[in-house]
Amino acid sequence: MVSGFPELLPGQRFVELAVLDRLRSTFELHGFAPLETPAAEPLDTLLRKGEIDKEVYVLRRLQAGDDASDSGLGLHYDLTVPFARYVLEHAGHLEFPFRRYQIQKVWRGERPQQGRYREFTQADIDIVARDTLPFHHDVEIARVMAEALAALDFLPPLTLQVNNRRLIEGFYLGIGAPHVGAVMREIDKLDKVSVDQVRALLTGVADLDEGQADVCLRLAEIRSTDTSFVDEVRALGVEHELLAQGLDELAAVIEGAAAIEGVTVEADLRIARGLDYYTGTVFETRMSGWESLGSICSGGRYDALASDGRSTYPGVGISLGVTRLLMPLFQSGELTGSRAVPSAVLVALPSEDARAASDDTAQALRRRGIAAEVAATPQKFGKQIRYAERRGIPFVWFPGAAGAPDEVKDIRSGEQHEADATTWTPPESDLRPQVIATKVDR
């Protein structure tokens, strides 16, 4: 296997597909339309923001000349940049606000390590408008992703952390910080370095005095799953119009997602997101027991996703790193599929002459949505049962001889009874591979 390019076993792939199906179902229930953009984009589009120019894979045929048609193309490293280009090119055909979800592979030339890959799958949702995007869409994005994460009930506990750039920017302006952007960038390092190191950076790189640095760190300590954070922030004695707006917006997001069970939604005032284009709500997500991965689901509001010179297209969105989320759980043995094949039934083959009849039985099951396959060779039934066991197929179907009724055997329990391929149905849990979650001590 090539380093940084994940490769899944069949049972693991079933789990990934189950995750993608649940995500897609949740997104579509909320009216998000599916979108797919090309894997390749013009380099000038990919490098417009200039943040990861060293990580872009260039698309080029082995012996292509500089004037080849694929010259100047690169593989997309996220789904936001292609989406911005898509909105500009198709704005005349879209109804705004435009709500889309996009689930695709992306490529990034990073150094491979746990949670970071050169090829990975992302699942993004965004709402984009022309010129003005009402704030209630921030609340909606948080609620939709929280519901999508809650539907992945086989994962370790997840916490969707929310903050607001207006809140922290207004706070830093209120204390008289000379370089607000620098303060944000240093506070954003709290997950990676110690509080003392961040304090030193605040008083050094960000030019804060000791008192200003201390109150910024006190702000970053505030967390709550309800709106009690508002009083905690006000108790710090800082006032600014932007701070007040940010507090109101963050409170609305927390209240809007509070009723969703299965995932924790938390106001976390240390979250800043290092990218400058975020202007309001920001999101990060941590998985219990896997905090070392960092955020597995991030995003926020950007008031200038794209502009064509006449109109600006603000948006709010969030991106789930599907590969980043699943691969560590696969590698640790915490997550797998209940079987490695889709087949719920192996139709036994009494003899080669009986293959047509066994094929007819399998087809009758398939017509009713039951995955079935016919034994490859007419071995003794005991060997055919062992073949099903090795493949993880739960049921073996025995065609009746000389007019006798067919029988089906649950090879796990040993229970066997008469059955008709036009009416028999296995338990719901056996119809397709299930996700198996196992707690592993680390």
Going by DSSP bridges, is the β-strand pair 119-128/98-107 parallel, antiparallel, or unpaired? antiparallel
Give the integer Cα–Cα distance in Å for 45 and 38.
13
Determine whether the annotation assigns residue 202 to a binding site.
no
- Spatial CB neighbours of 411, under 8 Å, sequence gap ≥ 6: 385, 388, 389, 393, 394, 395, 396
Nearest CA among 26, 18, 82, 80 for reference residue 318: 80
3-state secondary structure at position 238: coil
Determine whether the annotation assigns residue 77 to a binding site.
no
Determine whether the annotation assigns residue 79 to a binding site.
yes
Give the tokens for residue 414: 């040993």
Determine whether the annotation assigns residue 101 to a binding site.
no
Q: Which residues of 59-68 are buried (b: 16+ CB within 10 A; e: fewer)?
A: beeeeeeeee
Determine whether the annotation assigns residue 122 to a binding site.
yes
Determine whether the annotation assigns residue 410 to a binding site.
no
Give the integer Cα–Cα distance in Å for 336 and 238.
50
CB-CB neighbours of 361 under 10 Å: 24
Give the integer Cα–Cα distance in Å for 400 and 183.
77
Determine whether the annotation assigns residue 278 to a binding site.
yes
Determine whether the annotation assigns residue 126 to a binding site.
yes
Let me know: does 202 contact 186? Beta carbons within 8 Å. yes
Is the bond into 82 cis (omega within 30 degrees of 0)? no
Give the tokens for residue 141: 């994005």
Determine whether the annotation assigns residue 234 to a binding site.
no
Could you tell me which residues are annotated as the binding site for L-histidine? 78-80, 108, 122, 126, 273, 277-278
Task: Could you list the residues known to form a binding site, using ranges.
Answer: 78-80, 108, 122, 126, 273, 277-278
